[in-house]
Amino acid sequence: MRDVGVIIAAGGSGRRMGGTLPKQFLRLGQETILERTIAVFERVPDVCEIVIVTPRQYLDRVVRLVRKANVSRQCTIVAGGRERQHSVWNGLRAFYTSPSIVLVHDAVRPFVRPATIRAVISAVRTHGAAVVGVPVGDTVKLAGTKGFYARTLPRERVWAVQTPQGFRLELLVRAHERARQDRFLGTDEGSLVERLGHRVRIVTGETDNVKITTRRDLKLAKLRVDCRV
């Protein structure tokens, strides 16, 4: 059933790694990080459409990249906003079709597995909202004041959230509309849906579904790709 739309959120103009280009345009082997991310979603049969949100000054670059990659799904490229939340809102309004389910994914998480994506889709079909996460292995402290921590959080109940995050389209639109009305800026899409009182299912992900944000992340990603070759 091809009824899933994907929003791939690409970083803003200020999120570079020592060079002149945003991280999603850096190369891993023969492809850019963004190309590798798109390719994973192309391998999931449920996906009918992909919307790529990118800083306005890179719209033409992404158009060329998508043409080069021969993306087979309906693909729309739109300009992002000042914050990620604004960019996702722009993506929601750009769908050519009207998908039943929307997945939101970071452009710089190229190692997400198709099986993880399918698991999120399945959870959304049942529960309406789902995010990928991994249990936190370290002991976690809640910060207090004056350099002391307030308390220790129960480790077995703390998860590190990744993407994709998936939702019924109408639910995510309603969550964004409420956030805009209240001038609320959340840290992720799940936090917006929580405000509506809707429970969000956690899907167990993989520790290697990393977000490439530092030079060390990029170095390890390149090693991983080289080892596969």
pLDDT, one tens digit per residue, over 52-84 is 999 999 999 999 999 998 999 999 999 999 999
| Residue 151 placed within a domain | no
What domain count does the chain have? Answer: 1
24 within 8 A of 108, measured Cβ to Cβ = yes
| Residue 116 placed within a domain | yes
Tokens, residue 170: 């109408």
Tell me how far apart the alpha carbons of residues 82 and 79 are, in angstroms, rounded to a whole number. Answer: 10
Q: What rounded mean pLDDT belongs to the chain?
A: 93
| Residue 155 placed within a domain | no
Q: Give the tens place of pLDDT for each residue, 3-46.
A: 999 999 986 554 556 567 899 999 999 999 999 999 999 999 99
CB burial class (10 A; 0-12, 13-18, 19+) of residue 63? middle
| Residue 123 placed within a domain | yes
108 within 8 A of 213, measured Cβ to Cβ = yes
| Residue 149 placed within a domain | no
| Residue 65 placed within a domain | yes
Q: What is the CATH number of the domain that holds 35?
A: 3.90.550.10
| Residue 139 placed within a domain | no
| Residue 43 placed within a domain | yes
79 within 8 A of 102, measured Cβ to Cβ = no
Residue-number span of the structural domain to which 178 is assigned: 4-132+161-228
Using pLDDT thresholds of 50, 70 and 90, give the confidence band for residue 204.
Answer: very high
